[in-house]
Structures are given as structure tokens and as C-alpha cells.
Amino acid sequence: MQINDKVRSICDSFDKSDNILVAFSGGVDSSFLLYILKKYSPASVSAVTIKTPYIPEWEIDEAIDFADSLGVVHEIVEMPISESIINNPGDRCYRCKSVLFSEIKNLARRKGYNYVLDGSNADDTRDYRPGMKALDELKVQSPLLHSGFTKQEIRQQLREFGLKIWEKPAYACLLTRIPYNTEIKIDDLKLIEDSEFYLHNMGFPEARVRLHKNMVRLEINPDNFSILIDENTRNRIISFFKEKNIEFISLDLEGYRMGSMNTKK
């Protein structure tokens, strides 16, 4: 098939002597990057996924399945919560990416990779993303960003490639569900992960569960408000959270939006 000029430009910037390591979360952007490099680049392409307590298990599973479907070498590296982010500071994303990508760069040096790439795109410059600074400092390359690929363009390309992940909801690490300057607890992360998995399976794929002590604030697409407040659905959700000792369950009337915790740093 005829491929996008931006795709061609990215892939042609590498040659067969290059050995690329893609920081692969399993999300739409890094999946797209891994796919086009594997399919259209002459370089050798591998992937690494960091597994931490604040990445949902299903995301790791999806990353494994996708990498396996492409036949790429894929390594899972388990890491604990860094002490530098244990209290969820306002620059958490910068600190986190500094730690995680330092590990990825070390892995790349040990195994002879001459490029480390990530899936940041042009839209990532429009939100509060302190982690981008860490990528610059560590000299991690972001070809989708530098070629001007937006999230919409990436989804459209994936759709044209016939890959179902084109409609995969946007995910973000579970630390984004907890207010800044709050101690990160494994039990809280597990509660959020289980709750979002439950809501996704109920038909709210974009749902976010923001945790505020003994209260959860649910963010879903406003188009689905009427479904959520249906008596049967509402009662199921209430029962689920009450069983987890959550005292207050609220629906955010602004609905799901990226970075809603960023105004509360």
C-alpha cells in the first residue's frame, strides 16, 4: 500500500546498520511507531516495556501481545516505585521519566542499540508534560513528534493499516489518578486499576477513576452520562465501590478530559 510521506521519512532516516530500541508502552503511539519501523525500516528493531506498580497489568499484557504479533524482540523490565516520586510531586512525570529512561538507556548501551526512541507525538506539546524535558536530557528521540504526527493522524494511519488498535482508548499511568503531593500506596494503585478495568468492561472504555482519600471521582465521556445514571448501572457501580470501602462516589460533570489533575499541582 501507499504509505504516508511522514512514515516514509521516519523509516528512511535509518539504515540496515542501525539497531533501534523502542520504549514501548503498548499505547496507540508507541504501537504505531513500532509497527512502521518493523514493517518499513531497514533497521533492526526491538522493544522494551517497563513494568511498574503504576502501570495496569492489562497494558503490559496488550504490549506483549502486540509485540509478539509483529515478531519483534521484546523485553519486560520490572522496576519499583522510585523514592523520588513516592509523594507524587508536581514534577513527578519528569522524575519518573528520568528514572525509567535512564534504565532504558543503560539497557541499550549494554545490548548495543544505537538509538532509543519513544512514541511522543505533536499533541504532547500542548498539555502539561514535564517528562518531555527528561527525554531531551537523555537524548531519547521522538520521531513522531519531530515529524509532526498528531494523535488523530496516527489513529487514521493505523486504521488504514487495518490494525484494530486505531480505536484503542488513550491510557496514562495510574499516578495521574492521584492528587499531587499525596503519598503513593500500592493498595490505592490496585484499587484504581481494578476500578477502571471494571468500568471499561461495563462499556466505559475511557473511564478514569480519580482517587481523593475515601472518595472517587469518575470521569467518563459525557455522551455516556445517561447510561451511567441508569438505576441498574448506577447500583452496580455503587456496590462495587462500597465493597472496596469507598465512602463517596461522584460523577465529574465535566466528563473525561486529559490532564484534569494538572490544574491541582
Question: Which residues sit opposite 75 in a β-bridge?
Answer: 48
Segment 178-199 mean pLDDT: 97
pTM: 0.91
Return the pLDDT at 217.
Answer: 97
pLDDT over 60 at 265, yes or no = no
pLDDT confidence tier of residue 252, bands split at 50, 70 and 90: very high
Q: Which residues contact 206 (CB under 8 A, 6 or more apart)?
A: 169, 170, 220, 221, 256
pLDDT confidence tier of residue 130, bands split at 50, 70 and 90: confident
Domains of the chain, first to last: 5-167 (3.40.50.620), 174-264 (3.30.70)
Segment 55-84 mean pLDDT: 96
| Block residue for cell numbers 499511568 | 173
Q: Which residues contact 5 (CB under 8 A, 6 or more apart)?
A: none
pLDDT confidence tier of residue 3, bands split at 50, 70 and 90: confident
Return the pLDDT at 169.
Answer: 87
- What 148-153 contacts at long range (C-beta under 8 Å, 24+ apart), as own/partner pairs, is 148/6, 148/122, 149/6, 149/121, 149/122, 150/121, 150/122, 150/123, 151/28, 151/29, 151/121, 151/123, 153/4, 153/6
Locate all alpha helices (DSSP H) within 138-185, ordered by sequence. Answer: 143-146, 151-160
Backbone angles phi, psi at 74, to 5 degrees: -135, 125
- How far apart are alpha carbons 203 and 237 in whole angstroms? 12
Return the pLDDT at 64.
Answer: 97
Return the pLDDT at 119.
Answer: 95
| Block residue for cell numbers 525500516 | 41
Residue type at 188 in one-letter notation: D
pLDDT confidence tier of residue 4, bands split at 50, 70 and 90: confident
Return the pLDDT at 22.
Answer: 98
CA distances to 18, 88, 121, 257 from 171, in Å: 30, 18, 14, 12
- How far apart are alpha carbons 141 and 115 in whole angstroms? 8
Neighbours of 44 (CB within 10 A): 19
Across the chain, mean pLDDT equals 93
Segment 179-194 mean pLDDT: 97
Q: pLDDT digit string (tens) for 208-237?
A: 999 999 999 999 999 999 999 999 999 999
pLDDT over 90 at 261, yes or no = no
pLDDT confidence tier of residue 120, bands split at 50, 70 and 90: very high
Report DSSP state, residue 175.
G
